[in-house]
Amino acid sequence: DAGVIQSPRHEVTEMGQEVTLRCKPISGHDYLFWYRQTMMRGLELLIYFNNNVPIDDSGMPEDRFSAKMPNASFSTLKIQPSEPRDSAVYFCASSQTVSPSEQYFGPGTRLTVT
Amino acid sequence: GQQLNQSPQSMFIQEGEDVSMNCTSSSIFNTWLWYKQDPGEGPVLLIALYKAGELTSNGRLTAQFGITRKDSFLNISASIPSDVGIYFCAGQQGFGNEKLTFGTGTRLTIIP
Sign of CA dihedral B40, B42, B46, B49: positive
A114: exposed, middle or buried (Cβ count in 10 Å: 0-12, 13-18, 19+): exposed
Most distant CA pair in chain B: distance in Å? Answer: 46
By the 8 A CB rule, do A105 and A91 touch? yes
**Are A101 and B41 a contacting pair at CB < 8 A?**
no
* DSSP code of residue B9: S
- Find residues 9-68 of chain B whose CB sits inside 8 Å of chain A: 31, 33, 35, 40-45, 48
B109 Cβ partners below 8 Å, 6+ apart? B10, B11, B12, B13, B84
- DSSP labels for B34-81? EEEE-TTS--EEEEEE-STT-EEEETTEEEEE-TTSSEEEEEE-S--G
Question: What confidence category does residue B1 fall into, taking pLDDT thresholds of 50, 70 and 90?
Answer: low
> Rounded to an integer, what distance in angstroms lies between the CA atom of residue A43 and that of residue B98?
15
Residues of A in contact with B42 (CB under 8 A): 4, 91, 93, 105-108
By the 8 A CB rule, do A14 and A113 touch? yes
Q: Does A90 touch chain B (CB under 8 A)?
A: no
Q: Does B81 touch chain A (CB under 8 A)?
A: no
SS3 B19: strand
Nearest to B99 among A56, A99, A104 (CB): A56
Q: Give the tens place of pLDDT for each residue, B2-54.
A: 678 999 999 999 999 999 999 999 999 999 999 999 999 999 999 999 999 99
**For position A85, what pLDDT does the model report?**
95
Mean pLDDT (chain A, rounded): 95
**For position B2, what pLDDT does the model report?**
61
Using alpha carbons, select from A24, A31, A14 the residue that is nearest to residue A86: A14
* DSSP code of residue A81: S
**Are A99 and B48 a contacting pair at CB < 8 A?**
yes
By the 8 A CB rule, do B59 and B34 touch? no
Q: Does A31 touch chain B (CB under 8 A)?
A: yes
**Are A48 and B102 a contacting pair at CB < 8 A?**
no
Q: Give the tens place of pLDDT for each residue, A64-97.
A: 999 999 999 999 999 999 999 999 999 999 999 8
| Side chain identity at residue B36, one-letter code | K
Q: Give the tens place of pLDDT for each residue, B60-97.
A: 999 999 999 999 999 999 999 999 999 999 999 876 66
Q: Give the tens place of pLDDT for each residue, A22-72.
A: 999 999 999 999 999 999 889 999 999 999 999 999 999 889 999 999 999
**For position A2, what pLDDT does the model report?**
83
Mean pLDDT (chain B, rounded): 93
Distance from the B45 Cα atom to the nearest Cα atom in chain A, whole angstroms: 7
B101 Cβ partners below 8 Å, 6+ apart? B1, B2, B3, B4, B25, B29, B90, B91, B92
